[in-house]
């Protein structure tokens, strides 16, 4: 985690996933219904963690070690988990001799498989443990660490001397040169002006770090690490390859959800849904992350309402507005059909009956 692009990738993934709203549903034949209550596992998933912190730990473990291991610490009366503590993946070892019946060890002790929740990242056929990106791409990450160390050394000591002091009047010996150099460095550190006679010439040297390929190496390494995690390189200090405008920034946000977050969310949704009772399952609401401008959003609401596939209460909920009273917002008919009752032509007589 000492490498900035690596930390940035992990932070972006963990923050993005953990900040998404989580909704539970129940399958009802070919349709689904939203559950109004929050399962215990999603309300207080661990002793010291709320849902955001709990999801954040899971994604950080996945991104750094390729695996998230959870220990089930509480169950309800039906045996479904109500509390799961994420374990340090470095404290867990898995015996993969029989991939269909793996044996989990935590701090050297066997833990029953039914007490472990395991979410792997990328798994090879015949294996149980997910690949660790830090181990698989150790050389790429090592290049970034080496460049960082070089950068620290560069700015601490300088790739070249910061300045040249030249005496045109006489030749000085090494001891005198060292004394003058120390006095000059002391004045520079103290930010005090330099005073010298007419025989001395002071020249400050300006060195572009790109001459040593430092900046280019750091930018390339950031792009490579971003590619490992599928994160847009411009989000972690890499090169996006082009200028950003409002239009492609919005499209970039959509691509980030579809191609970066979606696989991570799918892993979590599958595992969390397996821990829910019966026909219940879990979905992340990614619409909360893609917030278009106000006019576009309202136009989309109008289309959904007029086409009859969303009612007013559902749209109000998306805008964090309470529902209309007395069920007025539960109608799914287009607005054009809500003006009042209409007669059925099939029940009307051809000729009206005159009043007597």
Q: What are the pLDDT digits (tens) for 32-74? A: 888 888 999 999 999 999 999 999 999 999 999 999 999 999 9
pLDDT at 168: 64
Work out the pLDDT band at 21, boundaries 50, 70, 90.
very high
Q: Residue 51 — φ and ψ, nearest 5°? A: -65, -40
Q: What six digits make up the tokens of 355?
A: 């009043």
Residue-wise pLDDT tens digits, 274-298: 999 989 999 998 876 776 667 778 8
Residue 150 confidence class, pLDDT cut points 50, 70, 90: low
Q: Which residues contact residue 99 at a Cβ distance below 8 angstroms, ignoring those fewer than 6 apart?
A: 126, 127, 128
Q: Does residue 255 register a pLDDT over 90?
A: no
**Residue 51 CB: number of other CB atoms within 10 A?**
17
- pLDDT for 109 beyond 50: yes
Give the C-alpha separation, 323 to 320, whole Å.
9
Residue pLDDT, tens place only, 256-267? 888 999 999 999
Contact 201, 168 (CB under 8 A): yes
Residue holding tokens 């090879």? 124
3-state secondary structure (DSSP) of residue 153: helix
| Of 336 and 107, more confident | 107
* pLDDT band for position 211 (cuts 50, 70, 90): very low
| Mean pLDDT value across residues 63-88 | 96
Q: What is the pLDDT of residue 356?
A: 45
Task: Judge residue 280's burial from the number of C-beta atoms within 10 Å of its C-beta, 0-12 exposed, 13-18 middle, 19 or more buried.
Answer: middle
Query: What does the pLDDT read at residue 252?
Result: 79
Paired tokens of 207: 């060195």
2 against 163, higher pLDDT: 163
More confident residue, 218 or 60: 60
Cβ neighbours of 161 (radius 10 Å): 12
Q: What CA–CA distance (Å, rounded) separates 275 from 83?
A: 11
Rounded mean pLDDT of 20-38? 88
pLDDT confidence tier of residue 28, bands split at 50, 70 and 90 = confident
How far apart, in whole angstroms, are the C-alpha atoms of residue 156 and residue 266?
46
Least confidently predicted of 122-126, 246-250, 304-308: 246-250
pLDDT at 332: 82
Between 173 and 203, the more confident residue is 173
Q: In the predicted model, what is the mean pLDDT of the chain? A: 78
Cα separation, 272 vs 281, in Å, equals: 7
CA–CA dist 156, 198 (Å, integer): 31
104 pLDDT exceeds 90?
yes
Q: What is the CA radius of gyration of the chain?
A: 32
User: Does this model's pTM top 0.95?
Assistant: no
| Residue % of the chain over a pLDDT of 90 | 37
The CA distance from 286 to 262, in Å, is 9
- If you count them, how many residues does the chain have? 356
Mean pLDDT for 223-242 is 80
């Amino acid at each position: 985690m000492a490498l900035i692009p690596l930390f940035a990738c992990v932070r972006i993934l963990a923050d993005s996933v953990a900040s998404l709203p989580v909704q539970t549903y129940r399958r009802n034949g070919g349709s689904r219904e939203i559950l109004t209550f929050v399962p215990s596992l999603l309300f207080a998933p661990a002793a010291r963690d709320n849902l955001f912190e709990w999801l954040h730990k899971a994604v950080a473990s996945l991104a750094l070690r390729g695996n998230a291991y959870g220990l089930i610490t509480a169950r309800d009366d039906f045996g479904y988990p109500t509390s799961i503590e994420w374990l340090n993946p470095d404290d867990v070892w898995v015996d993969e001799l029989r991939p269909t019946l793996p044996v989990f060890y935590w701090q050297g002790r066997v833990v029953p498989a039914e007490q472990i929740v395991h979410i792997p990242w990328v798994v090879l056929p015949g294996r149980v443990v997910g690949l660790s990106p830090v181990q698989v791409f150790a050389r790429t990450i090592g290049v970034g660490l080496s460049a960082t160390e070089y950068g620290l050394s560069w700015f601490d000591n300088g790739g070249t001397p910061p300045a040249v002091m030249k005496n045109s009047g006489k030749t000085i010996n090494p001891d005198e040169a060292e004394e003058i150099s120390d006095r000059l460095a002391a004045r520079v550190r103290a930010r005090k002006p330099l005073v010298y006679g007419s025989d001395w010439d002071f020249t400050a040297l300006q060195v572009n770090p790109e001459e040593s390929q430092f900046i280019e190496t750091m930018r390339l390494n950031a792009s490579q690490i971003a590619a490992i995690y599928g994160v847009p390189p411009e989000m972690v200090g890499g090169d996006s390859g082009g200028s950003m405008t409002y239009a492609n920034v919005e499209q970039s946000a959509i691509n980030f959800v579809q191609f970066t977050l979606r696989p991570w969310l799918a892993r979590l949704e599958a595992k969390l849904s397996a821990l829910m009772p019966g026909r219940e399952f879990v979905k992340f609401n990614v619409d909360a992350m893609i917030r278009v401008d106000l006019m576009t959003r309202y136009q989309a609401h109008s289309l959904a309402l007029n086409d009859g596939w969303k009612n007013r209460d559902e749209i109000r909920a998306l805008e964090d507005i309470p529902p209309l009273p007395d069920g007025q917002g539960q109608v799914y008919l287009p607005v054009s059909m809500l003006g009042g009752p209409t007669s059925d032509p099939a029940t009307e007589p051809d000729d009206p009956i005159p009043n007597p």
